[in-house]
Amino acid sequence: MTDKTQSIHGQWSSRFAFILAATGSAVGLGNIWKFPYITGENGGGAFVLVYLMCVAALGIPIMIAEIMMGRRGRQSPINTMQTLAEESKADPRWHYLGWSGMIAGFLILAYYSVIAGWAMAYIVKAFFGDFINSSPEEIQRLFQNLMDNPVQQIFWHTLFMYATMAFVMRGVQGGLEKAVRFLMPALFVILILLVAYAMTTGAYEQGVTFLFNPDFSKIDGDAVLTAMGHAFFTLSLGMGAIMVYGSYLPAHISIAKTTFFIAGADTVVALLAGIAIFPLVFANQLEASAGPGLIFQTLPLAFGHMAGGWLFGILFFVLLFFAALSSSISLIEPAVAWLVENKDIERHQACAWSGAACWLLGVGVVFSFNIWSDLKLFDKNLFELLDYLTANLMLPLGGMAIAIFAGWMMKSSLAQQELEIPEQGFQAWHFLIKYVSPTAVFLVFLHVLGVL
């Protein structure tokens, strides 16, 4: 058993460091790559509204719960769940929640790394001026060539996985804490710049209308599930990433305030990405529902035609790479922390093993975009299957279980003591986590299953 004041893995140097790391985990491909393309696939406004409601009603209370539980347990999510269950005299099987989270993180990282690899490939394309004055068709061909080339994708995927493990190896306070400090604001500035460019395309209003004008006839049960799943995905919730980061949080730092900041920043980045991309889609008669290639087929058009686009293109993909990196390290941290705690191996060995296994699955994901693209289960290729299984099923179910544990199993006096928020705020949170969050997830699942 570890002592209660600090994790054996170390601790964040300050509240600010934790905010950076947690925001770094939340802001990533989910905001800039995934949010726009799933919004495009699901008809826009109504989907965005459901997503925003899920962030508010589920994301914020569950993030508070995860950080709080992590800090109380001070270990990897699996062992934290075990400790917390013992402490509250709950069923020890609650530690399986840690397991499912660890597996979800592993499965997500396998495809996350492949997509981050695309972003790295695009740094080079931007550098060599491949976007300059290109037509939409040329930009599409550029992306298709990458998709058709497994060797190139594996190369970048390998590099990204290597970078991830190199950072994870250095532990809690390694270089990333410092890097994220200026990368996050820089990404924000470039997004604003892209939004400004979007205003010049002539289709700005159309793009914004698409994003914010809800038409509920455009969404069905599956779209609602995708929106809810994305709220968990984008906030890194439901799988222990934020829990393990919480376990490195020094005592007496306000969890609630920090959560509002992280969720707010995450949402703003996603919306900015959407506002930058959809005007480009409409101005160039592209398909909003183009799928995972959407940002790679739209943003290069902006870089190819705007003043200073060469430099901004490089910068954007470099920043996207770092945003992905600060997320990917949190996907694998629960597994690494658990291996170190339970298997009596060094941190670098834990990194090597988990990274290698994840890399291998990622190679399968690369193939799902070319040589295995016809290999389908439930009408989904490997990439789509992993994404659906994790984002739409494992994360919401994990989040629901976390809410149930925090609301029903954990003694509320313990939660209150850990959270240190005024009585009224605590009561509001407790009500949300106890009744609202679990019920909402449950209802969405009933709806998808056709029961409701």
Q: Which two tokens stand for residue 255?
A: 């969890």
Q: Select 28 or 98, whichever has its Cβ closest to ligand PHE.
A: 28
Distance in Å, CB of 180 to ligand PHE, minimum: 13
Q: Select 55 or 241, whichever has its Cβ closest to ligand PHE.
A: 241
Please, are residues 304 and 122 in contact by the beta-carbon 8 Å criterion? Answer: no
Q: Select 265 or 283, whichever has its Cβ closest to ligand PHE.
A: 265
Q: Is the dihedral of CA 3, 6, 22, 427 positive or negative?
A: positive
The answer for residues whose C-beta is within 8 angstroms of residue 177's C-beta and 6 or more apart is 12, 13, 17, 20, 21
The C-alpha atoms of residue 287 and residue 310 are separated, in whole angstroms, by: 25
- What is the contact surface with ligand PHE in residues (CB under 6 A)? 25-26, 28-31, 108, 233-234, 236, 239, 241, 327, 330-331
Reduced to 3 DSSP states, what percent helix, strand and coil does the chain have, rounded to the nearest 5? Answer: 75, 0, 20
Residue at 194: amino acid letter: L
Q: Select 203 or 249, whichever has its Cβ closest to ligand PHE.
A: 249
Helix (H) / strand (E) containing 115: helix 95-127
Distance in Å, CB of 332 to ligand PHE, minimum: 9
Distance in Å, CB of 145 to ligand PHE, minimum: 25
Which residue has the closest beta carbon to ligand PHE? 30
Q: Select 203 or 239, whichever has its Cβ closest to ligand PHE.
A: 239
SS3 10: strand
Q: Select 119 or 339, whichever has its Cβ closest to ligand PHE.
A: 119
Distance in Å, CB of 12 to ligand PHE, minimum: 17
The C-alpha atoms of residue 127 and residue 133 are separated, in whole angstroms, by: 14
- Displacement of CA 42 from its chain's centroid (Å): 19
Distance in Å, CB of 73 to ligand PHE, minimum: 18
Distance in Å, CB of 327 to ligand PHE, minimum: 4
Distance in Å, CB of 305 to ligand PHE, minimum: 28
The answer for residues whose C-beta is within 8 angstroms of residue 124's C-beta and 6 or more apart is none
Q: Select 108 or 146, whichever has its Cβ closest to ligand PHE.
A: 108
Which among 36, 46, 437 has a CA at the least distance from the CA of 221? Answer: 46
